[in-house]
Amino acid sequence: MILEKKKIFNDFAASKGLRSTRQRDIILDIFLSTRQHVSVEELYLKIKASNPGIGHATVYRTLKLFSEAGLAREILLHDGQTRYEHAVAGEHHDHLVCTGCNSIIEFEDETIEKLQKDIAARHGFLIKNHKLEIYGLCAACRQ
Amino acid sequence: MILEKKKIFNDFAASKGLRSTRQRDIILDIFLSTRQHVSVEELYLKIKASNPGIGHATVYRTLKLFSEAGLAREILLHDGQTRYEHAVAGEHHDHLVCTGCNSIIEFEDETIEKLQKDIAARHGFLIKNHKLEIYGLCAACRQ
DNA sequence: TATGCTTTTGACATTCATTTTCAGTTAGTT
DNA sequence: AACTAACTGAAAATGAATGTCAAAAGCATA
Ligand SMILES: [Mn+2]
Ligand SMILES: [Mn+2]
Ligand SMILES: [Zn+2]
Ligand SMILES: [Zn+2]
């Protein structure tokens, strides 16, 4: 599964004429080993621990490439930090975001997805992507 | 309707012990005269045209007050600028956002709202608010 | 109307995430 | 090995938003 993701990135890189670099390999390894919804800064710090040379700009640039390659999805919650999650082709989910403990619950709902398509169709709108985030308190934070 | 909104703000201000100022009156007037989803900068420039003295900080501070008072809703799309729309108590809608021309289509869907409540209930999650944004191309931008 | 206290304002500085710049390094090709 | 274009990282720049603080204004009271 990790090898599969590395192959996806290599294929993407090849198709775009990108070079294979030590930095990209390291960042991909570490990204694949993190939990979901990691912030760029969290990832940068984790990378720096084992690879002090790698800079902020490279981490930002490389995560954008992972998004383009379909390996990662950018998540913008309401805390001013861009986060990334592991993406799988053809799969999609949305988020319940706890404002108490910052935990995130993922969910999928086919009916909601279908209704979104209906709404778009009704307006002659072509969907590229969407975000559905439900903010509130998780079971633990409700006390 | 505009008078009604002014009353809502005045009542809110009174309940919070806020003072009535020329700046707040002007900013409310101009906010109420703008189209939906105005960015803070757009609003600031419009205000400055007739009232050169009013500063950025006051516009930011005052819009936050309008949100608290329930007159405005903060919208964070993917362009890094906070926008505000006119809010009406008890009403809610979501957005189709055209990445071609930046236009926004508003929609309401009771079934989606209901399904969100079901999902939250299933996870023991207490909803405070949510955002559903569908990005893509509007009919005009599809050509 | 004057006094006094408190809130509000706005110029300016600051913050903080992200992007840009650019000179030096590196990958991949001939 | 030589060449060339892509890549990197330190540092600077950007830009939205917030903090600071002295001056101004609102409002209660005398
Ligand atoms: Mn997720
Ligand atoms: Mn709207
Ligand atoms: Zn929680
Ligand atoms: Zn459009």
Average pLDDT of every residue of chain A: 96
> The domain B94-142: what is its CATH number?
3.30.1490.190
Domain with CATH 1.10.10.10 in chain B: 2-86
Sequence-separated (6 or more) residues with CB below 8 Å from residue B88:
none
> Can you name the residues that pair with A105 across neighbouring β-strands?
A96
pLDDT digits (tens, 9 = 90+) for B95-138: 999 999 999 999 999 999 999 999 999 999 999 999 999 999 99
Angstrom distance, A14 CA to C29 C1':
15
Chain B: closest CA distance from residue A98 (Å): 8
pLDDT digits (tens, 9 = 90+) for A116-140: 999 999 999 999 999 999 999 999 9
Mean pLDDT of B68-84: 96
pLDDT digits (tens, 9 = 90+) for B44-54: 999 999 999 99
Q: Give the per-residue pLDDT at A2.
A: 84
CA nearest to nucleotide C10 C1': residue: B55
With an 8 Å Cβ cutoff, are A137 and B129 in contact?
A: no
Q: Which of A105, A119, A132 sits opposite B123 (nearest CB)?
A: A105
B102 vs A contacts (CB less than 8 Å): none
Q: Give the per-residue pLDDT at B2.
A: 85
Sequence-separated (6 or more) residues with CB below 8 Å from residue A81:
A39, A40, A41
Q: Give the per-residue pLDDT at A89.
A: 94
**pLDDT for A1 beyond 90:** no
Domain with CATH 3.30.1490.190 in chain A: 94-142
> The domain A2-86: what is its CATH number?
1.10.10.10
By the CB < 8 Å criterion, does B101 face chain A? Answer: no
Average pLDDT of every residue of chain B: 96
Q: Give the per-residue pLDDT at B8.
A: 97
Phi, psi of A34 (to 5 degrees): -90, 165
